């Protein structure tokens, strides 16, 4: 009976370990204590499986204190409640949709091995308690309750090995870059718009060159190392490196790795302000790219972004300014938006002629990204005709204001990878240009620090003039948006609150019946934000 109970416990342990490894991966393996913060949130949720574990824990504490030792009954009790907890955990996890599953990387495999070793050591200690089932089960339940911290200990134990693996791959990438003496490297950073800017620039430059953009959102040291080692080859003329950061110094680290000669700074906003600490740190962190460029390098800055215009730049490299509202070296005017794309004229400094451009992309921020790409493309020797043709053929970036037809009457505007105040406001303006019924579906924005309530509430107020129906995903997390909607008098009958995106999609389909409908999906939070 004892062995049966241990097998049942092992099933629960494996299930919980997989769940927690998934969350550790999404929390960047506890960088900046992200997994630790999520752990406290997880315990605070006090869900059904956790309640049961606490009840079992208390039960065995009482049994140990009272020295009650009816083994057969205790064994059966442990087996039954462990199975109940496992079933509750499975049910609880099924109710929370998985957007990104656990990726079983080499690092995850090393963590699994370390966890197995720790469990084996723990099991060896328990062997000597096999005759005291109450204490044995008490320790087993405690171990599962504290499994979050066991995962953290595994991460700490593995740190030296992970550092060695990282340095090995880094050396390989650095040597490869050194050997490619003719390769031109372009860095792109900003609070938002990095991936879109990277893909637009790649599409345009590939008219004349072999340009390699870093894949997907590979914008960390690991991501760029993988890009160089696994994707860059001798036929590439240009590498476009997207650069992300959560704190100051991280962009500088990326620049030291790939040595960009060219840099684009998209926009500086409040994304990740909770981790950066304040707006000044974000500003200085993003400018690390431009300040890392060599003196013969070229930086592209946005003349409509006050945080870029007012920054005291500590570099004498060439700067090209782009803009729409203010005078700039490369400027867009006469912008016209439709549900099929955007047309605009471009003015290049020193050229009196207005050059008409057309793109399938939506939103003002797409124009800024195109202007930045045109600024560098001109420096790389592309003709106006080449640029016009390339801009016309630029593909929408997946999940960033991407039009996705879903039947006869329904079209989704997929902006699910957007989560910043400026971008979300622009997305609402795009929705406002659409014909028919306009719906916005959103869980709101995160990592905005002490401005989270204020900015999400403002997001709610912007909805009044740009949509007819609002679907909020998650009741707690979207309360600030609901407060903003209430403040501007949005019709409560047109506000729906869904538990998850699956339920929200069901509402959209019901509302779009026999009506031309555009639904903006604004942000789709990862699993760590599930309520």
Per-residue confidence at 273, pLDDT binned at 50, 70, 90? Answer: low
Any idea which of 23-27, 91-95, 291-295 has the lowest mean pLDDT? 91-95
- Sheet containing strand 402-405, edge to edge, reads 402-405, 410-415, 517-522, 437-442, 469-473, 495-498
* Helix or strand (DSSP H, E) at 277: none
- Name the nearest CA neighbour of 213 among 222, 221, 223: 223
Q: With the C-alpha atoms ordered 73, 74, 75, 77, is the resulting torsion angle positive or negative?
A: positive
For the chain, domains (ranges, CATH) are 2-160 (no CATH), 181-393 (3.40.1190.10), 402-529 (3.90.190.20)
CA distance 279 to 310: 13
CA distances from 124 to 38, 120, 129, 153, 240 (A): 30, 6, 10, 18, 52
pLDDT at 339 > cutoff 80: no
Q: Which of 303, 304, 269 is nearest to 285 (CA)?
A: 269
Structure confidence at residue 274 as a pLDDT band (50, 70, 90): low
DSSP 511: H
- Residue 424: is its pLDDT beyond 90? no
- How confident is the model at residue 97, as a pLDDT? 56
| Helices 71-95 and 133-145, packing angle to 10 deg | 10
Q: How far apart are CA 515 and CA 510, in angstroms?
A: 10
Alpha helices in 479-519 (DSSP H): 479-487, 501-511
Alpha-carbon dihedral 340, 470, 217, 371, rounded to 10 degrees: 40
Per cent of the chain over pLDDT 90 is 58
- pTM greater than the 0.75 cutoff: yes
Model pLDDT for residues 368-418, shown as the tens digit of each residue: 999 999 999 999 999 999 999 999 999 887 778 888 888 788 999 988 876
Residue 125 has pLDDT above 60, yes or no: yes
CB count within 10 Å of CB 123 equals 13
> Rounded mean pLDDT of 213-242?
94
DSSP conformation class of 528: G
CA–CA gap between residue 134 and residue 301 (Å, rounded) = 67
The CB density around residue 397, as the number of other CB atoms within 10 Å, is 21
Which residues fall within 8 angstroms of residue 198, CB to CB, at 6 or more apart? 188, 213, 214, 240, 242
179: left (phi over 0), alpha (psi -120 to 50) or beta: alpha
The b/e string for 163-175 (b: 16+ C-beta within 10 A; e otherwise) is eeeeeebbeebbe
Element (DSSP H or E) covering residue 55: helix 48-66
């Amino acid at each position: 009976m004892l062995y049966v109970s241990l097998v049942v416990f092992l099933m629960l342990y494996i299930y919980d370990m997989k769940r927690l490894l998934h969350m550790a991966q999404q929390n960047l393996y506890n960088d900046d204590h992200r997994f630790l913060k999520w752990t406290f949130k997880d315990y605070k949720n006090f869900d059904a499986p956790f309640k049961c574990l606490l009840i079992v824990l208390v039960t065995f504490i009482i049994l140990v204190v009272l020295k009650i030792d009816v083994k057969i009954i205790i064994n059966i009790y442990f087996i039954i409640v462990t199975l109940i907890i496992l079933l509750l955990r499975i049910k609880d996890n099924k109710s929370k949709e998985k957007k990104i599953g656990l990726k079983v990387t080499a690092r995850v495999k090393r963590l699994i091995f370390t966890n197995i070793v720790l469990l084996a050591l723990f099991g060896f200690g328990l062997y000597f308690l096999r005759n005291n089932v109450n204490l044995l089960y008490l320790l087993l339940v405690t171990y599962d309750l504290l499994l979050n911290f066991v995962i953290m200990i595994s991460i700490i134990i593995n740190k030296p090995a992970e550092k060695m693996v990282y340095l090995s791959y880094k050396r390989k990438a650095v040597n490869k870059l050194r050997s490619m003496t003719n390769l031109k490297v372009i860095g792109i950073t900003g609070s938002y718009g990095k991936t879109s800017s990277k893909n637009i620039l790649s599409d345009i430059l590939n008219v004349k060159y072999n340009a390699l953009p870093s894949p997907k959102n590979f914008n960390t040291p690991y991501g760029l190392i993988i890009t160089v080692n696994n994707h860059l080859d001798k036929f590439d003329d240009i590498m476009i490196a997207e650069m992300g950061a959560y704190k100051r110094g991280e962009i500088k680290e990326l620049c030291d790795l790939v040595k960009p000669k060219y840099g684009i700074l998209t926009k500086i906003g409040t994304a990740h302000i909770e981790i950066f600490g304040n707006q000044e740190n974000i500003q200085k962190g993003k400018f690390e790219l431009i300040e890392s460029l060599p003196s013969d390098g070229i930086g592209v800055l946005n003349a409509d972004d006050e945080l870029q215009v007012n920054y005291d730049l500590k570099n004498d490299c060439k700067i090209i300014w782009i803009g729409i509202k203010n005078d700039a070296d490369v400027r867009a005017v006469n912008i016209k938006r439709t549900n099929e794309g955007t047309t605009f004229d471009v003015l290049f400094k020193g050229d009196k002629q207005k050059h008409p451009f057309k793109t399938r992309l939506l939103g003002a921020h797409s124009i800024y990204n195109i202007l930045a790409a045109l600024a560098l493309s001109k420096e790389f020797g592309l003709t106006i005709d080449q640029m016009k043709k390339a801009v016309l053929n630029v593909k929408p970036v997946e999940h960033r204001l991407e039009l996705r037809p879903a039947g006869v009457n329904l079209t989704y505007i997929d902006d699910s990878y957007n989560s910043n105040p400026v971008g979300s406001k622009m997305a609402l303006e795009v929705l406002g240009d659409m014909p028919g019924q306009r719906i916005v579906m959103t869980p709101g924005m995160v990592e905005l620090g002490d401005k989270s309530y204020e900015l999400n509430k403002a997001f709610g107020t912007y909805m009044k003039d740009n949509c007819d129906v609002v679907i909020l995903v998650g009741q707690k997390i979207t309360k600030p948006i609901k407060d903003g909607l209430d403040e501007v008098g949005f019709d409560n009958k047109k506000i729906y609150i869904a538990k998850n995106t699956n339920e929200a999609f069901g509402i959209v389909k019901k509302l779009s019946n026999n009506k031309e409908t555009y639904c903006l999906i604004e942000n789709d939070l990862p699993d760590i934000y599930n309520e």
